[in-house]
Amino acid sequence: MATISTTSGYATDDTVAINRYLESIEVFFSNWPIPAAMEASKLRKTPSLDELEKKNLLEGFEEIFLRLQKEMGMKSRDLIVLHPGTPGLSEMLDRFSPCHTHDDEEVRYIIDGEGEFGFVLPTGEQALLKIGPGDFIRIPKNTEHWFVLTEKRCIKAIRYFSDTAGWVPKYTSTKVKIS
């Protein structure tokens, strides 16, 4: 279940309230149930996957990809699988934990595990959104944000792209004030 907390002390786990809060930065958040056929998938719960297993797992979410192609113009997708045994995990996470933006939107559907997206609002307030299985998030381009894993250090997320070239992080000078 998703939760949001802010530097001003606001906190909720209500999806409607989370969306209302994130409207000021045009972030869209929703919870889409994991397709029934994939809910019990052994691959969804396996910590480490090879490329063929990733491809097979992605195929189980094809209906969602087709919907996003039609509704949002998504052109490609991949599956990111992070767990404590991922080579270079700390270095990889270090690239996304400082405040940054992207030249393209960031679209994720979490299928297992959990992480936290942080956001800087126009007022300077910061918000931390904890996400897990079934959570879908769309972060507009040029939105100041960051990403960290929770203490479980495991996540499987389908990343959707309209253009992968715009996905390089552009770091800002804003310091993270909430964790």
Pick from 102, 58, 98: which is nearest to 80 by CA? 58
Q: Which amino acid, 90? A: S
pLDDT classification of 37: cutoffs 50, 70, 90: confident
pLDDT classification of 166: cutoffs 50, 70, 90: low
pLDDT tens track for 94-146: 999 999 999 989 999 999 999 999 999 999 999 999 999 999 999 999 999 99
Return the pLDDT at 2. 96
Q: Which residues are annotated as a binding site for Ni(2+)?
A: 100, 102, 106, 145
Q: Which residues are annotated as a binding site for Fe(2+)?
A: 100, 102, 106, 145
Domains of the chain: residue spans and CATH: 34-114+132-171 (2.60.120.10)
The residue among 165 and 77 whose pLDDT is bigger is 77
Q: How far is CA 27 from the centre of its chain?
A: 11
Q: Which residues are annotated as a binding site?
A: 100, 102, 106, 145
Write the CB contacts of 133 (distance below 8 Å, at least 6 apart in sequence): 34, 110, 111, 112, 113, 114
Task: Output the pTM of the full model.
Answer: 0.94
Helix axis angle, 62-72 to 51-59, nearest 10°: 70
